[in-house]
Structure 1
Amino acid sequence: MTAPQAVQNVQTGPPGTIALQARGLVKDFRGFRATNAVSLDIREGEIHAIIGPNGAGKTTLFNLLSGFLRPTSGEVTLFGERIDTLPPHAIVRRGLSRSFQISSVFPSLTVRENVIVALQSPTSLPRQFWTPLSRLEALGPRADQILADVGLDAAHARLAADLGHGEKRQLEIGISLTQDPRVLLLDEPTSGMGSEGVSRVIALVRQVARGRTVVLVEHNMSVVAQLADRITVLQYGQVLASGSYDEVRRDPRVIEAYLGEEAHG
């Protein structure tokens, strides 16, 4: 497998621009409050990690940020535009893409075909039931570039079902890149991986973050320490702390709630 190459940079705003912002996000499920007045600012160009113990509300927050859930109250803005009232596909077209913790690739398609299918989304092709292969092949060069960017160019003809766990993660990130997102949300990108796979994904996230804003949910604190510019800690659906890795790991509330002895390692 070839190493990830540099990815195409996307346009960025002035230094200090807030790319993604949440204000007072509340989500209730039949009397259970999964997020409680969550507010956060994600700055343009940073890698921002969201951490917390199981049940802290991380996945719910990701779903609220990406439009897969509507908040009970509060709002989400992307580069100043309110997006929490929009469906997920409309949010993607405004510049925010995400990956999922559970694999979302098409197992019966090849790696390259998975990317080509994703590339059809912003074109008129999805609305055409019968599409000539020649028209799909017009998307081939861009698909090949994305596969090179995520280190899967040598695996382009393999079925997605035959990929290893780490390779599927690479493919999912590649699929997320097909929409040229300005903000990329990654849900547990190193989950279930060995050390070699983790190292590969860390390198890949650094590559795709060039010229982009990346928000990730991640349990592996070594990964967070290596990647994150800033961290938001959730507990019981609320923001417990926010800051740099060093600031967060020294916060007594965080140590008690999540890091424990790992903070002293």
Structure 2
Amino acid sequence: MTPALQAVHLCKEFRGFRATNDVTLDIREGEIHAVIGPNGAGKTTLFNLLSGFLKPTSGEVRLFGERVDTLSPQHLVRRGLSRSFQISSVFGSMTVRDNLAVALQAPTALPHRFWISDRALQRFDPRIDEIVAQVGLQDVQHRLAADLSHGEKRGLEIGLSLTQEPRVLLLDEPTSGMGSEGIERVIALVRRVAAGRTVVMVEHNMSVVAQLADRITVLQYGQVIASGPYEQVRQDPAVIAAYLGHEEDIFAEDGSEADIAPGHGSRA
């Protein structure tokens, strides 16, 4: 079966510094795949390469077998790949529903019109209802985005990604900065949105990774040092050494040691 998303010998250099170094990665269709690693391991660079925000120095990105590393982010969205960002990017002065309406209008001719009637916008209501329910924002759908909690904003941002009907969804640290209640909310949210699509996520919280990921890829210094199911990766000596800790400290059975500490000597 052709992978949903592939990195093939992917390298990215910045003025002689190689942020990703010969990264080869296959993301299977329908799986939740986590990319982990110490701070500076190259995770964000890899995400930016996969989503078209950076162009590789060498290597390829393939989406369902088609080479796409020459395409812009908006063209990748049209081919079925969408992403969220670690820092929330929503329109704070607009309601949840209005944020979703703007995103749904984007691929149509409506944004290019000077005046749009309410009737024209009502055609998006059924899809907005579906997305609001999917991301669990029914109770706050008429609230301004600026007034949402951090977890609710994260849900809205994922909802914005869903407006483009992605087959592959990239999530950049979806639980960053959240308390336990917000984390549980996002775990449930990711499980819902993963139904019928492929999800790739960068995540530091190993409890979240243990609960969600079908497979894990570990980066260090821009290279893949391990890839496979959680139980296999947690016992890999190279992974343990990368975090300068003991296996039971980093990958606790119950996920109680949730956050990965930055690796000693990690790179930017």
Query: Are 1:41 and 2:26 counterparts?
Result: yes
Asked if 1:65 is matched to 2:53, the reply is no
Task: Quote the Cα distance in structure 2 between the aligned partners of 1:87 and 1:45.
Answer: 24
TM-score by length of 1: 0.92
1:185 maps to 170
- Taking the TM superposition and a 5 Å limit, the aligned residue runs for 1:44-55 are 44-55=29-40
2:115 maps to 130
1:219-258 counterparts in 2 under 5 A?
Answer: 219-258=204-243
Q: CA deviation at 1:133?
A: 2.7
Give unpaired runs (5+ residues) of structure 1: 1-15
Matched AA of 2:218: V
Q: Structure 1 CA distance, aligned partners of 2:220 and 2:183?
A: 25
In the alignment, which residue of structure 2 is the partner of 1:199? 184
Question: Aligned match of 2:92 in 96, 102, 107?
Answer: 107
| Corresponding position of 1:5 | none
The residue aligned with 2:263 is: none
Task: Find the counterpart in structure 2 of residue 82 from structure 1.
Answer: 67
Task: Please state how far the C-alpha of 1:33 moved relative to its aligned partner.
Answer: 1.0
After superposition, give the CA deviation of every residue in 1:160-182 in whole Å (9 maximum; x if it has no partner).
00000000000011101001110
State the alpha-carbon separation in 2 of the partners of residues 145 and 136 from structure 1.
16
RMSD, aligned CA: 1.2
Give the alignment's TM-score, normalised by structure 2: 0.91
Distance 1:259 1:248, change over 3 A: farther
In structure 2, what is the equivalent of residue 141 of structure 1? 126
Counterparts in 2 of 1:259 and 1:202: CA distance versus 1, 3 Å: farther
How far apart are 1:187 and its partner, in Å? Answer: 0.4
The Cα of 1:140 is off from its aligned counterpart by 1.6
Query: Once the 2 structures are TM-superposed, how far is the Cα of residue 127 of structure 1 from its aligned partner?
Result: 2.4
Partner residue of 2:250 out of 254, 262, 265: 262
Shift of the 130–222 alpha-carbon distance from structure 1 to 2, 3 Å rule, reads: same
Question: In structure 1, what is the Cα distance between the partners aligned to 2:146 and 2:72?
Answer: 29
Quote the offset at 1:156 in angstroms.
1.0
Give structure 2 stretches of 5+ with no counterpart.
Answer: 254-268
Q: How many residues align?
A: 250
Contact 1:255–1:263, Cα closer than 8 Å, also in 2: no
Q: Deviations over 1:55-94 (max 9, x none)?
A: 0000010000000111111110100111110000000000
Question: Which amino acid in the other structure matches residue 114 of structure 2?
Answer: F
Equivalent AA in structure 2 for residue 105 of structure 1: V
The one-character-per-residue Cα deviations of 1:195-252 (angstroms, maximum 9, x if unpaired) are 1111111111111111100000000000000000000000000101101101110001
Q: Which one-letter code corresponds to 2:169 in the other structure? A: L
Q: Would you say the 8 A contact 2:206–2:251 is kept in 1?
A: no
Kept in 2: contact 1:249–1:255 (CA 8 A): yes
Whole-angstrom CA distance in 2 between matches of 1:175 and 1:155: 15
